Structure 1
Amino acid sequence: MADRFRLTLAQLNPTVGEIAANAEKARAAWAAGRAAGADMVALTEMFITGYQTQDLILKPAFVADAIAAIERLAAECADGPALGIGGPHLRDMKLYNGYYILRGGRIETVVLKHHLPNSDVFDEKRVFASAEVNGPYRIGPVRIGSPICEDAWHPDVCETLEETGAEILLVPNGSPYHRGKPDLRLNLMVARVIETGLPLVYLNMVGGQDDQVFDGSSMVLNPGGHLAAQLPQFDEAVEHVDFIRTAEGWRAEQGVMAEIPRIWEADYRACVMGLADYMAKTGFRKAVLGLSGGIDSAIVATIAADALGPENVRCVMLPSPYTSDHSLEDAAAVARNLGCRIDTVPISGAQAAVGDTLAPLFAGTEPGITEENIQSRLRGLMLMAISNKFGEMLLTTGNKSEVAVGYCTIYGDMNGGYNPIKDMYKTRVFETCRWRNENHRPWMKGPAGAVIPERVITKPPSAELRPDQKDQDSLPPYEVLDAILDGLIERELSVAELVDMGFDLATVKRVEHLLFISEYKRFQSAPGTRLTIRAFWLDRRYPIAMRWRDETGGKSGA
């Protein structure tokens, strides 16, 4: 009986709906495995369709195309290793999330997902049926059990597979990134290994899909929870893992050990990959953004340069009578340091024309927020015109703090197709700028060095929509605001709990009010890179028309 088994792990970046290209990636991975003498090549969950498909998977023609592509792969990959690939499966008039095992020119078996995630960004119960737990399948000398993604986050499926004869657990995943996710996955998979006593292969996809970024970080664990291989975070990789039969069972030999970046780097890499893939997968090559001289647009310009290359990023300065000289200087310095084009489009003339047009209607009223927002909306108009004329995607630059409390103008500075920092609080923006100035990596297409001038980071934030305006005139200091928002959004704390933590009651109530009344703006905002488990869009779903406020003073969970 053979005492060795080679498994090729394909940690790749599929595109939702690009079935033929995904199949070609699968064929190339299979060919690499065959050349390396593999017994099996494994791809990730729902690889043939890309992931997540959301309601696209409910279209019968789409499902038929995906299944036909898998059948063709089976025929084309007949002479060589088995191929494991995720895709939709129809059985008894029900649609399942399946993992196909292709061997000898045919579909040998299909494993079906049992636990369907219905939290965070997932809503698989909406589109898939839950299957009974499958038993293991045999590839050469080994019986393999394949819990699909969420199935391995619960003990029952892995335990059933061990009890029914599985000798290795191979877990195909579509697991998106959030801060701290690699450690969470590792802890859960170690638990499955300890419970079953089996080696475990955790295979995850990479790539951006709308707001989500899949970060790879695939790994191989031996019994006892010992790490035998670690694939890189965010990078595509095809790696071969050798298992040997011992007196205690199958064990993985030591393989590649990539270093998992620390959180500051991982967050920034997620923003870069999220933007790069969103652009590529929607057909855009170039981006445009308004560069104000402030910190938010500076970090977005830097992310764009790192994602697309400076030559593909247009920065536009849109000065008004309230724009300071230092803002013009700082915007020019950011663009120059990055190597991006910068254009200047003054809005003063358009602002005066709109003012004159509205003057009869506004006669007898005092200038205020309306007039300030006209400036922002004129900037949005100019930027959208440039975007339309030159086919460049407009990036919006609002941080999570501003988006949370509505300190942004709908149809103005919220205009755009994507927001790389939508899930990054203002205080983290400051630290991210410092991190990027001090660090450079090979995957960054922008230049090394302090690309964001120190003055951009240290000067008081201002929208510059009226004389001597500062953000702090309208909002609590960002360190206070972000701490309150962290409690209200990330931890769902009550007002009373925040007050017990030392925050002023009136300030907490005001922030809560702003958070709730700004829901309609977020509903119409551009998607942006998900960094936390409470990102605006799929993670946190609140009604727009909603009048409840936390008036009881009671603590959450009481």
Structure 2
Amino acid sequence: MDLNIAACQIEVSPGHPDENTRKIIRHIEEAKAKGDDIVVFPEMAVPGYIIGDEWQNKAFVTDCYRYNEQIVESSEGIVVVWGNVDINKDAAGEDGRIRKLNTAFAAQNGKMVGKFHKTLHPNYREFEDDRHFYSARKLSADKDIAIEDFLQPLQVDINGEQRTIGITLCEDMWSDDYAADPIQILLSKGAECIINISCSPWTWRKNDKRHRVVKDRLKNHSAPLIYVNNIGIQNNGKNVYLFDGDTTVYNPNGSVRKVAEDYKEEVLRVPLNGDHQEGQKKPALSANKDNEELLEGLIYGIQQFFELINASKVVIGISGGVDSSLSAYLLCRALGADNVYAVNMPSKFNSDITKGLAQELAETLHLNYAIVPIQKAFDYTVQQFENTEFTRLDGSGQTTELPLNSLVRENIQARDRGSRIIAGIASALGAVFVNNGNKSETATGYATIYGDINGALAPIADLYKTEVYDLCRHINSIEDENIFPDKLFDIPASAELSDKQNIENGEGDPFVYPYHDQLLKAFIEFRLDPEDILSYYRDGSLEEKLGIEPGLVSQIFDSHQDFIKDLEHTWTLFKTNYFKRIQSPPIIVVSKRAFGFDLRESQIGVHFTHRYGEIKEKLLKEI
């Protein structure tokens, strides 16, 4: 007999169990009306998942648990599976607080019929399960029961027939690096299908990897698998995570049968009978597909973030460069051009080219536009500082003047734009403001704290400079007209803060982005050390390992000495500018590792390993 399952891809509002429970109950009633046998909701569908140390708020946790009562009461005539926190008031967690468990609950006919605790706890990137929750593995160890005996499928009567359902939570499916394999355990105990409830953020090509993982999990025991994920955004204070849903029903052979639409609330209704069903092809991987998902995710994340902070209007600085141009486009798509206020703030260092590009973009996007020059304010500040003298008040008469080198003058301009004009205009409009910093700048500290490191959100701070250019080109390819003029791609990237950054003379940022972006990605996403980089360079595999265009390294560096000098300089910038990153606004996460609490950094300064020194010494002797 068919088993009719409704997989509910809902938007989960983190920290609002009342809203989430009302939504769950509405879907339960709809499932009953449609004759579904089982209705399934995502992991932590009641409280939300990524809510930081709100998990240590006993009153909140207890309140979330109480909402189970309403869901159980609604289960008359149907099996309901949902995610919530379970609590054991008689036992403590390893933090000494009330014991909490990340749990899938099952109810039927007004009674709780099963609880299934998460077995595998992820403790990498943004995940902190062991910080807050007790796992099934720990429970089984406490009871001196092997995990293979501890995990049991749900046994439930549906329409007079006994059904055996395996229920797992998120990481339980990603078991390659763990000693236990919950899906295999449940299938070996006769589970006729597997339900996996998840709260799984979108990251680059993760969905394709999941399809491959599921196929591998089902290769020894064929059974349908239903993956139920939520949509929305959740955050840990520094990182905003996108939840695309992508709820999927898999055939017994692991092929994809049905997939929910990204970022949309949707219910997948499928009858399961254990037979192979016709399915759909997985989307082919490509750079174009990557950019489609990236663009959709960024726009969705901005929309959701502004709803979260109850804001609708935004102020942004627009220079005519590629970063501010992309940010302005994303904000217009997410919030509507009528809610976007773009300000061009030229000084004498800004070229007619970029001022013209800023005006042209504003006209193309039909946003609100103003020009507020900063030259007079900059000159006044410089004059003030030049006339400022500190006197040591110890009777010595010692004085100190303020030396205004080029960097100080550049920072004065950035802070005047960000802290005075943008922040002031946002306050006057009752709006919030955002910055335009990209990941390359954030990684190297090529930005001014309290100047262009400010605002409520950093929309593109998880995109390297080369990725910013790629996404702009993709946008031009899908729009009816070019949003970004060709000239934008021809001029050098430049902060235009001094005569040394004059784009009309071909001068710009002190980076070769096609090289340095890949180097930074190696440091950040893949946690490589200068020792690894220098080793690859020595054996000639650097470009292949890092995905750098062949021949580019020899074009940039004339000698081993030049390469080593640049490597050490870039590593030093990366390691010494953490203080800027930690003070930056929240970042929308789109990469494999974003700055914030996705990449846990510490201010430890710069270190080069013994082996790095040995390789360096040998290379320099070859000169």
| TM-score relative to the length of structure 1 | 0.92
Letter in 1 for 2:405: P
Distance 1:20 1:366, change over 3 A: closer
Find 1:386's aligned residue among 420, 425, 439.
Answer: 425
- Whole-angstrom CA distance in 2 between matches of 1:426 and 1:497: 26
Counterpart of 2:301, as a letter, is G
The alignment status of 1:96 with 2:134, answered yes or no, reads no
- Specify the structure having the higher radius of gyration (Cα): 2
In the TM superposition, residue 48 of structure 1 has moved relative to its aligned partner by 0.6
SS state at 1:101 partner: strand
Read off the aligned partner of 2:7 and give its amino acid letter. L
Q: CA deviation at 1:187?
A: 1.2
Of 490, 514, 522, the match for 1:458: 490
Distance in 1 between residues matched to 2:5 and 2:445, nearest whole Å: 51
Corresponding residue number in structure 2 for 1:115: 120
Secondary structure of the 2:275 match is strand
- Of residues 533-542 and 121-130 in structure 1, the stretch that sits farther from structure 2 once superposed is 533-542
Equivalent residue, structure 1, for 2:415: 377
Q: Please list every run of 5 or more consecutive structure 2 residues that lacks an aligned counterpart in the other structure.
A: 92-98, 141-149, 390-400, 544-552, 554-562, 616-623
Which residue in 2 is equivalent to 1:444?
Answer: none
Query: Does 1:73 find its partner at 2:108?
Result: no
Maintained 8 Å contact 1:229/1:257: no
Matched AA of 2:184: E
The 5 Å alignment of 1:284-295 reads 284-295=311-322
Q: In the alignment, residue 294 of structure 2 is paired with which amino acid?
A: D
Counterpart AA for 1:48? V
Residues 325-355 of structure 1: CA deviation (Å, up to 9, x unaligned):
2222211221221121112222223222322
Residue 293 of structure 2: SS of its match in structure 1?
helix
**CA drift at 1:252:** 6.5
- Work out the CA distance in 1 between the residues paired with 2:122 and 2:302: 26
Deviation at 1:491, TM superposition (A): 2.5
Work out whether residues 15 and 51 of structure 1, in 8 Å CA contact, stay in contact via their aligned partners in 2: no
Give 1:476 deviation, angstroms: 2.5
Determine the C-alpha separation between the residues in 2 that align with 1:35 and 1:332: 56
CA contact (8 A) 1:285 1:312 kept: yes
Partner residue, 2:559: none
Name the amino acid aligned to 2:24: A
TM-score normalized by the length of structure 2: 0.82
Distance change >3 Å, CA 344–CA 542, structure 1 → 2? same
What is the distance in 2 between the residues matched to 1:272 and 1:98?
32
Kindly state the Cα deviation for residue 102 of structure 1 after the two structures are TM-superposed.
2.4
* Distance of 2:312 and 2:405 partners within structure 1: 41
**Maintained 8 Å contact 2:311/2:432:** yes
Q: 1:411 to 1:366 in 2, by over 3 A?
A: closer
Which residue is equivalent to 1:247? none
Cα distance in 1 for partners of 2:608, 2:408 equals: 27
Structure 1 equivalent of residue 229 of structure 2:
204
Out of 250-259 and 168-177, give the one that drifted further: 250-259
**2:167 corresponds to 1:146:** yes
SS at match of 1:251: coil
Compute the displacement of 1:254 (Å): 4.2
Report what 2:154 is aligned to: 137
- Residues 486-528 of structure 1: CA deviation (Å, up to 9, x unaligned): 2222233323135332742221111111111111111111121
SS of 1:170's equivalent? strand
1:31 is matched with 29
* SS of corresponding position for 1:461: coil
**Superposed displacement of residue 483, structure 1:** 2.2
Shift of 1:183: 1.3
- Aligned positions, number: 540
2:394 corresponding residue in structure 1: none
Q: Do 2:8 and 2:40's aligned partners in 1 also have CA atoms closer than 8 Å?
A: yes
Residue by residue over 1:227-286, the C-alpha shift from the partner in whole angstroms, topping out at 9 and shown as x without a partner, is 221222333211201112xxxxx2374478785882111112121122111111122222
Residues 14 and 22, structure 1, Cα contact 8 Å, conserved in 2: yes
Deviation at 1:60, TM superposition (A): 0.9
Percent identity between the aligned chains?
28
Question: For residues 157 and 235 of structure 1, do their structure 2 counterparts lie closer, same or farther at Cα, with a shift above 3 Å needed?
Answer: same
How many angstroms does 1:32 deviate by?
A: 2.7
In the aligned structure 2, how far is the partner of 1:208 from the partner of 1:202? 19
Deviation at 1:224, TM superposition (A): 2.1
Distance 1:255 1:473, change over 3 A: closer
Q: Where in structure 2 are the equivalents of 1:50-449 lying within 5 Å?
A: 50-75=48-73, 77-91=74-88, 92-93=90-91, 94-131=99-136, 132=140, 133-139=150-156, 140=158, 141=161, 142-154=163-175, 156-210=181-235, 211-244=240-273, 250-251=274-275, 253-254=277-278, 262-361=289-388, 365-381=403-419, 382-439=421-478, 448-449=480-481
Residue type of the partner of 1:63?
Answer: V
Secondary structure, counterpart of 2:76 in structure 1:
coil
Inter-partner Cα distance in structure 2 for 1:232 and 1:339: 30
Greater than 4 Å deviation, 4+ residue runs: 252-261, 470-474
Measured at CA, do residues 543 and 470 of structure 1 come closer, stay the same or move farther in structure 2, by a change above 3 Å?
farther
Following superposition, the deviation at residue 54 of structure 1 comes to 2.2
Moved more, 536-545 or 57-66: 536-545
Alignment-derived partner of residue 557 in structure 2:
none
Most deviating of 265-274 and 138-147: 138-147
Change (3 A) 1:255 1:41: farther
Unaligned segments of structure 1, at least 5 residues:
245-249, 441-447
User: Which one-letter code corresponds to 1:490 in the other structure?
Assistant: E
1:541 offset after TM fit, Å? 1.7
